[in-house]
Chains A and B, each alone.
Chain A
């Protein structure tokens, strides 16, 4: 192993540039051996080092009085009162999921769960954000089926409810789907576990599954573009074992209830390498690992393979001296491997021993501090021209096609395959604006939403970035939750292309602006670049996962209409904003014009007003307006409430603009008749644009005295029918 001569080809195969290799030579003061080269290559991969995005990520706001731990740890931590903390993060598993959808998605869920329980939290909710190619692309159906069963297969077995998410289809994802998974956990605010190792001589302990040869170089694969022969990379996709993960959660939480742990980190991307390097470097110490002691699944594994394996369901921890036996007993009870594989040193090096020899010795500062950081050239997306978006030829058909089309239809086919009720605290199930999960044993609840509108980010990255953050804020608000913080998963194409780098910079600028204006910091995140196939990038997709809190979960709003005779009102101003709208893309088959603009002050004012009404118990039926505009929101409320509506829209705007405009910061609500006038007056006093549109009731949606008449039965059939028909290939 140590004899392999490092050639320029080997360097290139490890995804390192000649310049980066020179940095390694300089840092080490000698040539690396193959194991060491492998370690540098994964640590300096885009996935682990954030080398292209780091300087821009620094611009994001990460602080607020309720933030306990911001980015840099395994997950973000916020204070939710009463000594409790919510811990959460979102992460991508795009490349593996495209190659092997079931295992790719499953291990994506497994990895993000570990990021959260590693900090001391019991995971209480899973979410996801999925993007697939166009429905008639030959691979799409297979990928949807595989990803959905992979997410379900893992989450259902682990027993953490998958409570919501979003799914979109767009041709830009044909060769590169996005699978972003998010986990939210609950912990005691006084008992958060971090990854910084400490205490020279303390034992370094490996727990969980054995190490195999799976997933070697996964992080490097995730940092390269796809080509047609990417299928050959299937062996780099890891295989998940949710049963072991469940045991690992229980065993870790049991050990965490004692005071034995100094530091803990999961072995995620780049496995043993990244966990040991991060723990040691954060603690400013060295690690000596005896690789012979690593529990191995296969025979004759080499140091290179052990260090780079991405076998799942493994954790690394530093224990206080003398606690090994007690800890071991817990892991044996749960039938998991437990091995002391090394100790902390004061050398500042990662030292690897195998069969009595030193097989690697790397100064940690060269791995971490010398890691390349690029300020890649970026060009801003050119400003688009405003366009006038015409009315559809057949209004009714346009609405039916949208509501019963791939991007607005019911996602029941997906979420009915996820156990979304286990743990007994899901009080708002999938299909609403945000999922709501009670904080076990309390009156409080967490509201969670994942959102981004890639069309907008493509049309105008700054506005799109703003909108993504604002939409999670709005969705949480629509349930009555106070949005507290976000995590993100930044999915983009190849950062070495200036126009892609321009999208990254623009989206981050917009996100930062929204976070500041809404008091809504970023506490964790993940960057996934090189989402391209054969040089064609995806739409810029900075997925945002927001978390908020309902102090009194009995005061919660939901989407369905709750009976006849309620007064329907629209909060927020509708403008002629059909550029980059779903209507324009799906019905007119165009993508041009300016995306809607978010006025963050208006966003906040409108949201704070709606939330206050819900908290006061004045309002229980609320839906935010997003893709598809007013008519899409109205249809959702009517279909889910099995109640029709009659509304009248004034002539200040053409009817199709009223119906399909995607103007931001708007909410559709239904109020009890005796409350309606008070609410309208209060809204006016608060400065909101408010319009009384009509009333609930009947078995159709009727607009402007029959200018549009949509029987509820047909609408429901279209809305519910698309997904099952698509999956059965019956469209």
Chain B
């Protein structure tokens, strides 16, 4: 499985994502700079966390309009799996690849801690190693993770199995405690929690590793 990590100016979890992908796939991912109009053919694209372009506008709004994202959108629409974590999730909603928006946390504070997640969908490309209904532990670190969409959209997401993860308790005010969302086709996942930070016991656990292994199992 060949993967790429997109790097925007201000991305800061790009190395962590690359480390996780290399640990699981055995191959160093391609690091793709935001100005690249084109990049090598890959099986998997990751949009890492951070503060792309400083996030001085709405989080992810600038990145969603960057050169590289035009290509990422094209590939996502063609079916290439795309994972957006934290700032990456914000970028995905800003591009319209995923529905909804991520607003400032209800507490108005940045929150960094381990959270319990309920696995809602265990059939997707990204989540097939988990068991629906079980709880996993993955950390969050964000200021704007309060997922919002209108009622019809939320109902549709739930109805179509597009909610991948739900917070076991409210941590940021997200509608229906939604922590991760899939697109309709199931090849794009956006999530606020950081699976790349939970890939070995020394870091507090390995629950995040299963996500990458799930992708690896499907894509080989």
Residues of A whose CB lies within 8 Å of any CB of B are: 149, 152-153, 156-159, 241-244, 246-247, 334-335, 415-424, 426-427, 429, 438, 553-554
Contact = CB atoms under 8 A, between A and B. Distances in A.
8 contacts: A153-B110, A156-B110, A241-B54, A244-B54, A416-B109, A417-B109, A419-B141, A424-B16
Interface string B25-37: 0000000000000
A593 to B, nearest CB: 40
A130 to B, nearest CB: 17
Nearest to A160: B12
B202 A417 contact: no
Main secondary structure of the interface of B (DSSP, over half): mixed
Nearest to A158: B12
Given A242-B51, A247-B9, A553-B202, A421 B141 contact: yes
Given A419-B141, A422-B141, A157 B54 contact: yes
Interface string B187-219: 000000010110100111000000000000000
Interface string B166-204: 000000000000000000000000000010110100111
Contacts of A244: 54
Interface residues of B, number: 30
A157 B112 contact: no
B54 A421 contact: no
Given A157-B10, A159-B12, A335-B9, A421 B203 contact: yes
A241 B10 CA distance: 11
A424 B9 contact: no
B15 A424 contact: yes
B139 interface: yes
A644 to B, nearest CB: 23
Contact of B202 (A152, A157, A420, A427): A427
B81 interface: no
B166 to A, nearest CB: 21
Nearest to A159: B12
B50 interface: yes
A416 B112 contact: yes
B9 A152 contact: no
Given A416-B112, A419-B141, A246 B202 contact: no
Instruction: Pick the 5 closest A-B CB pairs, nearest first.
Output: A159-B12, A243-B54, A424-B16, A157-B51, A419-B141
Most chain B C-beta atoms within 10 Å of own C-beta, residue among A246, A416, A421, A438:
A421
Contacts of B202: 427, 438, 553-554
B37 to A, nearest CB: 16
B13 interface: yes
B203 A427 contact: yes
Contacts of B10: 157, 243, 246-247
Contacts of B51: 156-157, 159, 242-243, 246
Contact of B110 (A152, A246, A427): A152
Contacts of A419: 110, 112, 141
B111 interface: yes
B54 A424 contact: no
A415 B141 CA distance: 11
A424 B12 contact: no
B141 A424 contact: no
Contacts of B194: 421
A426 B143 CA distance: 20
A30 B110 CA distance: 55
